[in-house]
Amino acid sequence: MTGSRRRVPVLAARQHRSGTVLTGIVVLGLAAAWAAHHAVAASDWDSHATSRLTMVWLALFFVFMAQTLMYHFERPRRLTARLARQLDELHVSILVPVYNEDPGYLKLGLESFLRQTRLPDSVHIVDDGSTSSDYADVRAWWERAAPAAGVATTWQRVPNGGKRHAQAHAVRVSPEADIYITCDSDSCFAPNAVAEALAPFTRPRVQSVAGIVIATNNRVNLLARVTDLWFTTTQLVDRSGQSAVGAVMVNSGPLAAYRAGVIRDNLGSYLNETFMGRPVMFSDDSLLTLYAQQRGLTVQQPSAVVFTAMPEKWSHFSRMYLRWMRGSTIRSVWRMRYLSPARPAFWLHLLRWFQMFLVQMVTVWLLVVEPVAYRNLPPASMLWVPFLIGWAQGLRYLGIIRSDERIRSRAVTWLLMPLAIVLAWTALRWLRWYGIATCARTGWGTRQNGAEVSLAGSAASTTAAPAPVPVAKLLDPYSEQTLEIASPRR
């Protein structure tokens, strides 16, 4: 095709807060509480064993109930036409670091910027010394398409220095920005993602906004499905609870927005972070979130959705998860050191560690101490409780409506929650503690030999997939627009 126009299938999504989903969460939550009570009261343990566990069960129950209440209190900023006009005055710059990315995913993401209901004012791409491609075709297309859409742009190729340094190059060429949106090179924004991510900034105290990340390739294989289920549910449970009190702990890399001063004023420490004498190459998103927490509120906007490529192989997933756990450990040290106890984030951070150690102690006690020291085997009914809780919280996953997937496919993924829980109990628990113990290993660890996920080989490729849900139904009426782009020269 040369010079013609084509209608491009658009990836879009929104959160659907239906009464059915909320009722299901409450019902299954109560069922989980009843099962936990029955497991203790109806077991054949003696009174001493029951008393030993009473306080533990009560602590876990109250932590679970507090978490449930908190995520229901999340109130995303509703974007109206009036607020949209107010936010139009802000200069919004998107920072795109690129390193050994699949060209298909990179182009998919760049196309999504041009489809936004609120276009970014500028997009700054930095190729951080990629060794797998020079992206000549993508760059040539982009440098024609962006100006034609009224979007200012720069494209730099620099010696490899890491993601943070690539972002810094983009910051330095955009001194006029009021808001920086950070993303990954495989991020594909839903059509209203930029507009929705900006909405919370109408509150002066808000310093950063996290979007909701879902998988582009969620139907490629079982690992991608389970990862999408686990990651989406975590955002809509843990992070929604944090957002309810303005204390999101970590913004996700595929889509986060910051007031420009949060990044500019901390650029020196951002580029030169060290831990135990070693430069830290990862955990950049959590460090930017920490800077924002020191200044004000950090929130999540569930209506700002971004698609990203999830790992399709265990080796890729395990390296990514280890990097997260090592970064989380380092960031915990900085939160204890730099966050004021007057900030909710400080106490939520402590609660998270308390919950993690409590769950670990309960598991060891039930599976090791009670059988060995007291000859009490835990009743089989206790195994139902985590699955009931998981399915209850996993209903939040069904609340994300996608343009490229029918609800029955998402229901199949939701039914895989027991597999996600078993994975969390076994492999991920071991990786978590191994990551904590090896947190001094601060290298990146992925994409050193090229892209690990390819759009061309993915069943989720949107160039051929139909859109069962019309995109117009996923957008607010005032922001609907024709979603067409110029077809590149082939």
| The CATH number of the domain covering residues in 81-346+446-478 | 3.90.550.10
What span, in angstroms and rounded, lies between the C-alpha atoms of 117 and 305?
Answer: 13
Q: Which amino acid is at 65?
A: M
299 touches 201 (CB < 8 A):
no
**Per-residue pLDDT averaged across 374-391, rounded?**
73
Alpha-carbon distance of 247 to 260, in angstroms, equals 19
Task: Identify the residue with better confidence: 488 or 466.
Answer: 466
Confidence of residue 208 (pLDDT cuts 50, 70, 90): very high
**Mean pLDDT for the chain overall:** 83
Q: Which of 25-34, 116-125, 334-343, 480-489 has the lowest mean pLDDT?
A: 480-489
Q: Of 4-13, 196-205, 211-220, which gets the smallest average pLDDT? A: 4-13
DSSP type of residue 446: S
Q: What is the pLDDT of residues 413-423, one digit of tens each?
A: 999 999 999 99
Q: Give DSSP secondary structure letters for 301-326.
A: EEEEEEEEPPP-SHHHHHHHHHHHHH
What would the mean pLDDT of 394-406 be, rounded to a whole number? 90
6 dihedral zone (left: phi>0; alpha: psi -120 to 50; beta) = beta
Tokens of 81: 């036409």
Q: What are the boundaries of each domain within the chain?
A: 16-73+355-408, 81-346+446-478
pLDDT at 332 over 80: yes
Tokens of residue 128, six digits: 């951080």
> Three-state SS string across 197-253, please?
HHHHHHCCCEEEEEEEEEECCCCCCHHHHHHHHHHHHHHHHHHHHHHHCCECCCCCC
pLDDT band for position 466 (cuts 50, 70, 90) = very low
- Helical H segments across 115-221, by residue range: 136-148, 163-172, 193-198
Cβ contacts of 239 within 8 Å, gap of 6 or more? 210, 248, 249, 250, 300
Residue-wise pLDDT for 278-317, tens only, equals 899 888 999 999 999 999 999 999 999 999 999 999 999 9
183: Cα separation from own chain's centroid: 11
Among the listed ranges 60-69, 206-215, 226-235, 316-325, which one has the minimum average pLDDT value?
60-69
Q: Which residue has the higher pLDDT, 484 or 415?
A: 415
What mean pLDDT comes out for the span 54-65? 65
Q: What is the pTM of this model?
A: 0.85
DSSP per-residue letters across 46-58: -HHHHHHHHHHHH
Query: At CA 21, angle to CA 299 and CA 460, rounded to 5?
Result: 75
CB 207 within 8 A of CB 292: yes
Closest-CA residue to 126 (of 102, 104, 159): 159
**pLDDT of 375 over the 60 cut:** yes
What's the confidence (pLDDT) of residue 201?
A: 96
Q: Which pLDDT band, with edges at 50, 70 and 90, does 484 fall under? A: very low
In terms of DSSP bridges, do strands 278-279 and 274-275 run parallel, antiparallel, or are they unpaired? Answer: antiparallel
Whole-number percent of the chain with pLDDT over 70: 79
**Tokens describing residue 489:** 């020269």
pLDDT score recorded for residue 464: 40
Chain centroid, CA 291 distance in Å: 18
Q: DSSP class of residue 464?
A: T
Q: Strands 92-98 and 122-127: what pairing? A: parallel
Residue with tokens 């997937």: 405
pLDDT of 447 above 60: no
- The CA distance from 84 to 196, in Å, is 9
Of the candidates 261, 257, 204, 213, the one whose C-alpha atom is nearest the C-alpha of residue 235 is 213
Specify whether the CB–CB gap between 326 and 276 falls below 8 A: no
Region of poorest pLDDT, from 167-181, 202-216, 348-362, 454-468: 454-468
What's the pLDDT tens digit per position in 231-287?
A: 999 999 889 989 999 999 999 999 999 999 999 999 999 999 999 888 998 889 999
Model confidence at 155: pLDDT above 60 = yes
Nearest to 112 by CA among 256, 302, 306: 306
Query: Where is average pLDDT lowest: 15-29, 190-204, 340-354?
Result: 15-29
Question: pLDDT confidence of 119, banded at 50, 70, 90?
Answer: very high
Range in 96-110, 193-207, 261-275, 328-342 with the lowest mean pLDDT: 328-342
Nearest in space to 420 (alpha carbons), one of 384, 390, 383: 390
